[in-house]
Amino acid sequence: MSLSATKFVHPITTPPSTRSSDKPLFSTFFGSNHTKLRFNKPIVAAQRRSSSAASTSSPVVAVSDVVKEKKLKSTSNLLITKEEGLVLYEDMILGRFFEDMCAQMYYRGKMFGFVHLYNGQEAVSTGFIKFLKKEDYVVSTYRDHVHALSKGVPAREVMSELFGKATGCCRGQGGSMHMFSKQYNLLGGFAFIGEGIPVATGAAFSSKYRREVLKEPGADEVTLAFFGDGTCNNGQFYECLNMAALWKLPIVFVVENNLWAIGMSHLRATSDPQIWKKGPAFGMPGIHVDGMDVLKVREVAKEAIERARRGEGPTLVECETYRFRGHSLADPDELRDPAEKAHYAGRDPITALKKYLFDNKLASEQELKAIDKKIEELLDDAVEFADESPLPPRSQLLENVFADPKGFGIGPDGKYRCEDPKFTQGTAHV
């Protein structure tokens, strides 16, 4: 590894014929053809992106075997039915249009702070979350709007939350980075990377506890933890991989590897950039999948989620994906190579799904346009709703600090301070 005057050469995965060192490394993706992933092939070290799945020591059934079975059983050659296809399309369009609307609203001064948009990564959210039941848990990071929408949180509530209104899913108290929904089992929304992973592990533990200690018959809820490539260098990630594998918790760790942690390229931050390899090190399967293709993500998701549901333990899934926008709306996004962006724009998951639907005569142009229109109307309604919603009143300030407001203590007059009327008005000084 030679050190040029100003820049590092990227490490050993560089093939000899690689381009110059100052550009982030990517090669033509040798991705699997879209019906199966390659399995048990040795990793071609030259390629930054290989599509090899879990190592041979993993006990899990290879995805390709599952797909082969499926191909034998199903009457058609296709991976999805028409209904499924339209559901996937609608979900991805909802995610895309919503994020575009967020950007618009932000620049119009309707929302503030740090807003992290998900454009380009929709295949991961849709591919995984559409396999979940309502009782299953999803834990996300600050890039959580689309996870919330895929899980079922109404667009109105998410938009209101972003506007900081009292009708938001968290009453305006969370904001862009803290989306929670008890009804849809979305456990957040976390601003510090990695801090949601233990929470997800806890939810999976809860599920196992209910099954084995409380002996509840239907307790097979699966938890999905979504996080990025930057998080995979964080201690909490490894600690949770260990615990999840140790206790065979029903959790799937989904890495949305979009190559960039704000301005830090994944390759500059990670000694071994192949994240999926870290799964087998802890005794769980590690799978790499093309995260720009919703159908491939779905295949892997199905197997991983069902594996967890059966009680066989966790899976680590690395989704190669890309964010079309900057890290957040405050990020000028000057570091990334335009050629790289163009490459991934050409692999837009929505375009890819559209093509699949058309090519396989699953949907017509009109049907898809109808869906587009429906979503646009939904979003206009969401914005209108959010606009017209009231801001949180002062009385909301001190609510929800404690589940049991006795926690504010006893005041000098002997009464619990939460009984003081100023508390409900929000004017008491705590």
Partner 1 sequence: MATLFQGLPSSTAFSSSNKFNHAPAPTSFSGTWNNERKSSIVTVRSDARWSPVLNSATHKPQRLITNAVATKADSSLASTSSKPGHELLLFEALREGLEEEMERDPCVCVMGEDVGHYGGSYKVTKGLATKFGDLRVLDTPIAENSFTGMGIGAAMTGLRPIIEGMNMGFLLLAFNQISNNCGMLHYTSGGQFKIPAVIRGPGGVGRQLGAEHSQRLESYFQSIPGIQMVACSTPYNAKGLMKAAIRSENPVILFEHVLLYNLKDRIPDEEYVLSLEEAEMVRPGEHVTILTYSRMRYHVMQAAKTLVNKGYDPEVIDIRSLKPFDLHTIGKSVKKTHRVLIVEECMRTGGIGASLTAAITENFNDDLDAPIVCLSSQDVPTPYAGTLEEWTVVQPAQIVTAVEQLCQ
Shortest Å, Cβ 155 to partner 1 = 17
Query: Which of residues 173, 335, 341, 360 is near partner 1 by CB under 8 A?
Result: 173
285 binds partner 1 (CB under 8 A): no
Token couple for 407 = 């926690």
Query: Which of residues 198, 280, 311, 426 is near partner 1 by CB under 8 A?
Result: 198
In three-state secondary structure terms, 238 is: helix
Binding letters toward partner 1, positions 118-147, x by CB under 8 A: -------------------x-x--------
Shortest Å, Cβ 426 to partner 1 = 13
What are the residue ranges of helices labelled H in 130-269? 145-151, 155-163, 196-212, 235-246, 266-269
Spatial CB neighbours of 160, under 8 Å, sequence gap ≥ 6: 166, 167, 168, 169, 172, 382, 385, 386, 389
Shortest Å, Cβ 22 to partner 1 = 36
Total interface residues for partner 1 by CB under 8 A: 66
Amino acid code (one letter) for 222:
V
Give the range of 1-9, 118-126, 169-177, 290-298 binding partner 1 by CB under 8 A.
Answer: 169-177
Q: What is the DSSP letter of 355?
A: H
User: How do strand 251-257 and strand 260-261 relate by DSSP bridges?
Assistant: unpaired
Residue number with CB closer to partner 1 (87 or 219): 219
Residue number with CB closer to partner 1 (157 or 290): 157
82-107 vs 365-388: helix crossing angle, rounded to 10: 40
309 binds partner 1 (CB under 8 A): no
Query: Which of residues 113, 377, 401, 425 is near partner 1 by CB under 8 A?
Result: 401
Give the range of 43-51, 79-87, 324-332, 402-410 binding partner 1 by CB under 8 A.
Answer: 402-410
- The secondary element (H helix, E strand) that includes residue 254 is strand 251-257
Asked if residue 320 lies in contact with residue 28, where contact means CB atoms within 8 angstroms, the answer is: no
158 binds partner 1 (CB under 8 A): no
Nearest CA to 259 out of 114, 49, 13 is that of 49
Asked if residue 349 lies in contact with residue 92, where contact means CB atoms within 8 angstroms, the answer is: yes
112 binds partner 1 (CB under 8 A): no
189 binds partner 1 (CB under 8 A): yes
Give the range of 58-66, 100-108, 182-190, 327-335 binding partner 1 by CB under 8 A.
Answer: 182-190
Token couple for 181 = 């929904």
Restricted to residues 216-235, the positions that interact with partner 1 (CB under 8 A) are: 235
Query: Which of residues 62, 78, 94, 199 is near partner 1 by CB under 8 A?
Result: 199
206 binds partner 1 (CB under 8 A): yes
418 binds partner 1 (CB under 8 A): yes
Q: Phi and psi (nearest 5°) for 293?
A: -125, 110
201 binds partner 1 (CB under 8 A): yes
Residue number with CB closer to partner 1 (34 or 210): 210
Query: Which of residues 73, 108, 182, 361 is near partner 1 by CB under 8 A?
Result: 182
Shortest Å, Cβ 257 to partner 1 = 21
301 binds partner 1 (CB under 8 A): no
Residue number with CB closer to partner 1 (89 or 282): 282
CA distances from 351 to 120, 142, 180, 297, 354 (A): 11, 26, 30, 15, 5
Restricted to residues 245-274, the positions that interact with partner 1 (CB under 8 A) are: 246
Q: What is the DSSP letter of 8?
A: B
- 186 beta partners: 138, 181
Give the range of 25-33, 146-154, 198-206, 279-287 binding partner 1 by CB under 8 A.
Answer: 198-206
Asked if residue 290 lies in contact with residue 51, where contact means CB atoms within 8 angstroms, the answer is: yes
Nearest CA to 255 out of 225, 283, 285 is that of 225
Asked if residue 230 lies in contact with residue 193, where contact means CB atoms within 8 angstroms, the answer is: yes
Residue number with CB closer to partner 1 (192 or 358): 192
CA distance 246 to 96: 38
Spatial CB neighbours of 141, under 8 Å, sequence gap ≥ 6: 177, 189, 190, 193, 196, 226, 227, 228, 231
Shortest Å, Cβ 424 to partner 1 = 11
CA distance 427 to 423: 6
Give the range of 19-27, 56-64, 181-189, 319-327 binding partner 1 by CB under 8 A.
Answer: 181-189
The residues of the shown chain that bind partner 1, judged by CB under 8 A, are: 137, 139, 168-175, 178, 180-182, 187-192, 195, 197-210, 212-214, 235-236, 239-240, 242-243, 246, 399-419
